[in-house]
Chain A
Amino acid sequence: MTSIVAGDPRVAPAKASRRRGWWRRNWVSLAFLAPGIIWLLAIVVYPTIATIRFSFYDETATKYVGLHNYASVFSTDAILTAFKNNIIWVLVFPFFVTFIGLMVAVLTERIRWATAFKTIIVMPIVFSTTASALVWRTIFDLDPHIGVVNAIEQTVSDWFRAPGAYPLNSAIGQTAASLASFNATGGSGGSVISKSAVHPGDTVMMGLTRISSVTLQTLGAQTPVAPQKMKGGIAGLVWNDFSPMQTSNTTTIVSDEHGLPNLRLSLVSSTGTSVASTVTNSSGGFSFSHVAPGSYHVEIVGSNFQTAFLGTFWLGSQSLTPVNGLNQTAQSLLSVPLIDLAMIISYIWIWAGFAMVLIGAGLAAINREVLEAAEIDGATDWQKLRRVTIPMLAPVLTVVFVTMVINVLKVFDIILNMAPGSSQGPATTLALSIYNDGFTGGIHSGVASAIAVILFLLVVPAMLWNLRKIKG
């Protein structure tokens, strides 16, 4: 048997033919892989590296500027606002969506129509975030004729505090007392009460001022008529004591003044109790009949002036935290715009189904006998949930949570579509900033690249963590 020594001419051809053989055997397999690899290199790998590079260059991408762009990022109010909003999203959304997903997944185990229910909850994932944002924008609309939320708020508000026929203008801080004119003064509980006392058989006149002509027109106010005396009763008139023709208020009724209809009145005795009530007619006249002898005041009750429902501007950027008076940067960092809350609610509607499906799968994997053992050990349903089920679900819960954190770091569509123009700035996020700075208006590709790199750095650890959990 001859032995082969290195350098032996017999060695080289064998190696070469082995390599040729390797190619021949594997070229098809490598050809299969090639399209994918090339695609990824071209559109994912190279651009990522390029972006990192861009972040260190100026806007024209020719001059090296080191960390200048990053410095800009942390000193631009708009971008700091974006950071703040992302923080709000990350702090609020993943927790609540996981929580709701968990509650729903647990409860769904007990019902027979679980499949139908799950389908309903999961469906919104299938809608584009754009379409969902539009739907929710309508729901949160300020106008109670459009937005369901404000419609409900109005119904509830009106039920507790029905608006009066003469609502005060709260925007200018109007009070009932400011409406009091002739023989009238502000009373308790937002009412207006007559200055002079009246007795059965007297007439009384009271004047209110600053009533809008729109209100008068809506209520069909007529020309006032002087009240006639009434035996054993008290008759009177409430009129709008303001005439454009006269310069000062007088006690006489001028021709173009109007009586005030639909005013709820109360006859208040000297002890302060109400003994009768009535409503003014379309000329502002009223009467109380069969009044016992005594001294009384006429009260125009406060409910007449109840302000109308104002509506909550859910889509606006008014802050839930007290930030008035702080400087611009501090405000950017500390305010919590209301629209963030509205958008988070919408986003929960979209993604809770995802959490529910994953947690549901985890629940199904739990050995029923462990729960039976807990029951025998003496655990109530709640104790079983808290001390056995949820700890056993911990891995799934964290995967869901982290996935939602990653999702929310990149949130874009919903803000772009749900926030009206005035709220876009206060509600912006990092992904949105990249788009704005990179592709709209004045292009700042250096800064946009820097934001992108920062976003990348925020997202990467979370995704790697998740990947490990899923593979393991």
Chain B
Amino acid sequence: MKLMSTLTPAKDRRVVALAKRLHLSKAVVNVILALVAVFWLVPTISLLVISLRPEALFGQSGWWKVFTAPSQLTWGNYATIFSQGFTSGGVLDSLVTSLEITIPVTILVALISSLAAYSLVFGSWRGRDMIFLVIVGLMVVPLQVALIPVVQLYREMGNLFGLNPYGTIPGVIIFHVAFGLPFGIFLMRNFLTGIPKDLLEAGRIEGAGEWKIFYRIVLPLALPAIASLAIFQFIWVWNDLLVALVFLGGNVHTPLTIFLYDQTRSLAANYWIVSTGAVVSIFVPLIVFFSFQRYFVRGVLAGAVK
């Protein structure tokens, strides 16, 4: 006969037992939460439905009518987008631009943060903790404060080196990386303190140099933290509007956020393109979110500061 009570963790037993005793109110709670869940889903569903209905129906009947007349649904809007291809100013072009911005930023922030964190944790020079505190303190700076001078800075660079990042994608990337670093270094450094120094010593004894140790020992171990950071950074940059507006405002190729914003400025809003564009813009971070759900929650918990 097995010792059953050692199989079930004590805490689970108690929670289940308590929950069962509140049997009656459990039904009420379920109803309330079901209503809340439905309310929460309505906006997202409305967006999906609008994008799947012909433009003509938009002002005539509410999107909710689709539940009684499912034949209204059509892929027409998406077909139009895809037939547009990558013409600049279109949805697909903006999607690519968003990727062109977000992916390099994410990689750069992950890399530079890890390097800096490595130095702050495993370096042997004094003042590491001081510098770390200052860097973390920089998380406090709202990016609005830096916009105007950076535009100017870019102009200076243009005068000095002939390369003015203003109005270019690298210009946006540079700005985003900078403001992703304090949080990134914070996250990575806190994670790296959990790695025992012995591992590095073992590597050094075997003759590995610092870079090799970083690349082959520390980085693989730090992947969970990098994943959390990457997701958070990715979604943050993907959804940014302000920085993109400032640095890429009048550009030919703009990211999805600017694309959507432009659509709202026109009085006769083309809802077919706005909704399909919004769905496309939502689609990518949703995939990232669902693939790395675990890491996302960790990132949110650590990202309470952001």
Q: Provide the B22-47 mask, 1 if CB < 8 A to any CB of A, else 0.
A: 10011001101100110011111011
Among listed B66-74, B84-92, B220-228, B235-243, interface-contacting one: B235-243
Q: Are A417 and B260 in contact (CB under 8 A)?
A: yes
Given the known interface contacts A48-B141, A107-B32, the answer about A151 and B62 at a Cβ–Cβ threshold of 8 Å is yes
CA distance A399 to B275 in the complex (A): 35
Query: Of the candidates B46, B142, B209, which one forms a contact with A28 in the assembled complex, judged by CB atoms under 8 Å apart?
Result: B209
Q: Is B246 an interface residue (CB 8 A)?
A: yes
Given the known interface contacts A32-B115, A47-B149, A438-B147, the answer about A459 and B140 at a Cβ–Cβ threshold of 8 Å is yes
Number of A-B contacts (CB under 8 A): 282
Q: Is A156 an interface residue (CB 8 A)?
A: no
Q: Are A134 and B264 in contact (CB under 8 A)?
A: yes
Q: Is A138 an interface residue (CB 8 A)?
A: yes
CA distance A372 to B21 in the complex (A): 13
Tell me, rounded to whole Å, the shortest Cβ–Cβ distance linking A471 to chain B: 9
Residues in A with CB closer than 8 Å to B101 are: none
Tell me, rounded to whole Å, the shortest Cβ–Cβ distance linking B97 to chain A: 14
Residues in A with CB closer than 8 Å to B214 are: 32
Give chain B interface residues in 108-163, CB to chain A under 8 Å: 112-113, 115-116, 118-120, 122-125, 131, 135-142, 144-150, 152-153
Q: Is B95 an interface residue (CB 8 A)?
A: no
Q: Is A214 an interface residue (CB 8 A)?
A: no
Q: Are A403 and B305 in contact (CB under 8 A)?
A: yes
Smallest Cβ-Cβ distance to B36: which chain A residue: A104
CA distance A130 to B245 in the complex (A): 12
Q: Are A148 and B64 in contact (CB under 8 A)?
A: yes
Residues in A with CB closer than 8 Å to B179 are: 43-44
Q: Are B242 and A467 in contact (CB under 8 A)?
A: no
Q: Are A410 and B304 in contact (CB under 8 A)?
A: no
Residues in A with CB closer than 8 Å to B149 are: 46-48, 50-51, 54
CA distance A472 to B33 in the complex (A): 34
Q: Are B146 and A44 in contact (CB under 8 A)?
A: yes
Q: Is A81 an interface residue (CB 8 A)?
A: no
Q: Is A452 an interface residue (CB 8 A)?
A: yes
Query: Of the candidates A32, A54, A349, which one forms a contact with B148 in the assembled complex, judged by CB atoms under 8 Å apart?
Result: A54
Q: Are B112 and A39 in contact (CB under 8 A)?
A: yes
Q: Is A45 an interface residue (CB 8 A)?
A: yes
Of the four ranges (under 10, 10 to 19, 20 to 34, 35 or more), the interface on chain B belongs to 35 or more
Tell me, rounded to whole Å, the shortest Cβ–Cβ distance linking A427 to chain B: 14
Tell me, rounded to whole Å, the shortest Cβ–Cβ distance linking A60 to chain B: 12
Given the known interface contacts A104-B36, A126-B282, A135-B278, the answer about A445 and B148 at a Cβ–Cβ threshold of 8 Å is yes
Q: Are A463 and B139 in contact (CB under 8 A)?
A: yes
CA distance A123 to B293 in the complex (A): 11
Given the known interface contacts A123-B289, A357-B300, the answer about A463 and B305 at a Cβ–Cβ threshold of 8 Å is yes
Given the known interface contacts A33-B123, A145-B61, A403-B305, the answer about A431 and B144 at a Cβ–Cβ threshold of 8 Å is yes
Q: Are A368 and B285 in contact (CB under 8 A)?
A: no
Q: Is B60 an interface residue (CB 8 A)?
A: yes
Q: Provide the A127-139 mask, 1 if CB < 8 A to any CB of B, else 0.
A: 1111110111111
CA distance A272 to B122 in the complex (A): 96
Give chain A interface residues in 27-77, CB to chain B under 8 Å: 28-30, 32-33, 35-37, 39-40, 42-48, 50-51, 54
CA distance A461 to B131 in the complex (A): 20
CA distance A399 to B305 in the complex (A): 9
Given the known interface contacts A399-B304, A413-B241, the answer about A33 and B119 at a Cβ–Cβ threshold of 8 Å is yes
Smallest Cβ-Cβ distance to A52: which chain B residue: B145
Q: Is A392 an interface residue (CB 8 A)?
A: no
Q: Is B2 an interface residue (CB 8 A)?
A: no
Tell me, rounded to whole Å, the shortest Cβ–Cβ distance linking A108 to chain B: 7
Q: Are A148 and B115 in contact (CB under 8 A)?
A: no
Q: Are B144 and A372 in contact (CB under 8 A)?
A: no
Q: Is A26 an interface residue (CB 8 A)?
A: yes
Query: Of the candidates B14, B148, B246, B305, which one forms a contact with A466 in the assembled complex, judged by CB atoms under 8 Å apart?
Result: B305
Beyond A29-B124, A42-B178, 11 extra complex contacts between A and B, CB < 8 Å = A25-B124, A40-B178, A43-B146, A47-B146, A50-B148, A128-B281, A130-B241, A131-B239, A135-B43, A381-B25, A413-B241
21 A/B residue pairs, CB under 8 Å, sorted by A: A35-B116, A40-B182, A43-B150, A43-B175, A44-B141, A48-B141, A48-B149, A107-B29, A121-B37, A123-B289, A128-B257, A131-B278, A134-B264, A134-B275, A139-B43, A145-B61, A368-B15, A381-B22, A417-B261, A438-B147, A466-B304
Q: Which residues of B contact A (CB under 8 A)?
A: 11, 14-15, 19, 22, 25-26, 29-30, 32-33, 36-37, 40-44, 46-47, 50, 58-62, 64, 112-113, 115-116, 118-120, 122-125, 131, 135-142, 144-150, 152-153, 174-175, 177-179, 181-182, 185, 209-211, 214, 235, 238-242, 245-246, 249, 256-257, 260-261, 263-264, 267, 271, 274-275, 278, 281-282, 285-286, 288-289, 293, 297, 300-301, 304-305
